[in-house]
């Protein structure tokens, strides 16, 4: 099974890449964490958030492989505890399908991306910078996996 994070954004600092790579390599071969970074829509003085979201949304929709389950990261989505995320991960693994996790740009996800998603997941009610979202997402996916295999990393 593959967990694909499809994200809109620019080049991340080295510490982000290092942290994401570390958590990714801790996962077993049968649970691959992949990152697909898409460029931000060009912004200018007269840019409208809705138009930017729509352009970025088109890119995201094209990047989702056929057959993937789609989960949108959305501040207004459901808030899951780590054990609830572990249960989601088990469900995803049992389904046999890969999962695409969608992370929008600074203006959020397009309505079409939200509509395509079977679930909307909120990492936090706080506004988080994209570099931190990536690290938090990678760590929580790793932590959820450790719960499913009863590894001592999670001390819940």
Residue 112 above 90 pLDDT? yes
Tens digits of residue pLDDT in 57-88? 999 999 999 999 999 999 999 999 999 999 99
% the chain with pLDDT above 90: 83
Binding-site positions read: 73, 104, 123-128
Domain ranges of the chain: 2-148
Under CATH, which number does the domain 2-148 receive? 3.40.1280.10
Choose among 53, 33, 30, 34: nearest CA to 43.
Answer: 53
- pLDDT at position 153 is 83
| Binding residue positions for S-adenosyl-L-methionine | 73, 104, 123-128
pLDDT at position 152, please? 83
Q: Model confidence at 98, in pLDDT bands (50, 70, 90)?
A: very high
Residue-level pLDDT at 62? 98
The whole-chain average pLDDT of the chain stands at: 94
pTM: 0.94
Query: Is the pLDDT reported for residue 41 higher than 90?
Result: no
**Cα–Cα distances in angstroms (integers) from residue 118 to residues 68, 78, 89, 115, in the given order:** 11, 12, 14, 8
Q: Which residues lie closer than 8 Å to 50 by C-beta, 6 or more apart?
A: none
Could you tell me which residue, 131 or 152, shows the higher pLDDT? 131
């Amino acid at each position: 099974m593959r967990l694909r994070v499809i994200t809109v954004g620019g080049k991340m600092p080295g510490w982000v890449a290092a942290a994401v790579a570390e958590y990714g390599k801790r996962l077993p071969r049968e649970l691959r964490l992949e990152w697909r970074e898409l460029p931000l829509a060009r912004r200018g003085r007269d840019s409208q958030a809705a138009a930017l979201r729509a352009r970025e949304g088109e890119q995201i929709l094209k990047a989702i492989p056929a057959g993937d389950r789609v989960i949108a990261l959305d501040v207004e989505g459901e808030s899951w505890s780590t054990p609830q995320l572990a249960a989601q991960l088990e469900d995803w693994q049992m389904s046999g399908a890969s999962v695409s996790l969608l992370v929008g740009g600074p203006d959020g996800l397009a309505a079409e991306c939200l509509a395509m998603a079977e679930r909307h997941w909120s990492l936090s009610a706080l506004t988080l910078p994209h570099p931190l979202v990536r690290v938090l997402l990678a760590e929580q996916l790793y932590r959820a996996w450790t719960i499913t295999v009863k590894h001592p990393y999670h001390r819940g």
